Chains A and B, each alone.
Chain A
Amino acid sequence: GAGVSQSPRYKVTKRGQDVALRCDPISGHVSLYWYRQALGQGPEFLTYFNYEAQQDKSGLPNDRFSAERPEGSISTLTIQRTEQRDSAMYRCASSLARTANEQFFGPGTRLTVL
Chain B
Amino acid sequence: QKEVEQNSGPLSVPEGAIASLNCTYSDRVSQSFFWYRQYSGKSPELIMSIYSNGDKEDGRFTAQLNKASQYVSLLIRDSQPSDSATYLCAVKDLNTGNQFYFGTGTSLTVIP
**Minimal beta-carbon separation of B17 from chain A (angstroms):** 24
What is the size, in residues, of chain A's interface with B at 8 Å between Cβ atoms? 25
**A42-B88, A101-B32 are contacts. A33–B100 as well, Cβ < 8 Å?**
yes
Q: Which stretch of B40-48, B55-63, B64-72, B75-83 is in the interface?
A: B40-48
Which residues of chain A from 72 to 114 have a CB within 8 Å of any chain B CB?
91, 98-99, 101-103, 105-108
Query: Which residues from chain B contact A40 at a C-beta distance below 8 Å?
Result: 8, 104-105
Residue contact B1 to A101, C-beta cutoff 8 Å: no
For residue B112, CB closer than 8 A to chain A, the reply is no
Q: What chain B residues lie within 8 Å of A42 (beta carbons)?
A: 4, 6, 88, 90, 102-105
Which A residues are CB-close (under 8 A) to B43? Answer: 91, 105-108
Residue in A33, A41, A105, A108 whose CB lies within 8 Å of B99? A33
Closest-CB distance, A36 to chain B (whole angstroms): 11
Give chain B nearest CB distance to A48 CB in angstroms: 6
Question: Is B94 engaged at the interface, CB distance under 8 Å to the other chain?
Answer: yes
A/B interface sample: 21 pairs, CB < 8 A: A31-B98, A33-B99, A35-B102, A40-B8, A40-B104, A40-B105, A41-B105, A42-B88, A42-B102, A42-B103, A43-B88, A45-B99, A45-B101, A48-B98, A55-B97, A99-B98, A101-B34, A102-B46, A105-B43, A105-B44, A105-B45
The reply to whether B92 and A41 form a contact with Cβ atoms under 8 Å apart is no
State the CA gap A44–B102 with chains docked (Å).
Answer: 7
Q: Which residues of A lie under 8 Å from residue B46 when comparing CB positions?
A: 101-103
- Check A43 against B98 for contact (C-beta < 8 Å): no
Answer yes or no: A56 CB below 8 A from chain B CBs. Answer: yes
Q: List B contacts of A59 (CB < 8 A).
A: 1, 99
Closest chain B CB from A51 CB (angstroms): 13
A45 to B90, CA, bound (A): 11
Query: Any chain A CB within 8 A of the CB of B30?
Result: no
The 7 closest A-B pairs by CB, nearest first: A42-B102, A105-B43, A43-B102, A42-B104, A42-B88, A42-B105, A56-B97
* Max chain A C-beta neighbours (<10 A), residue from B44, B46, B105: B44
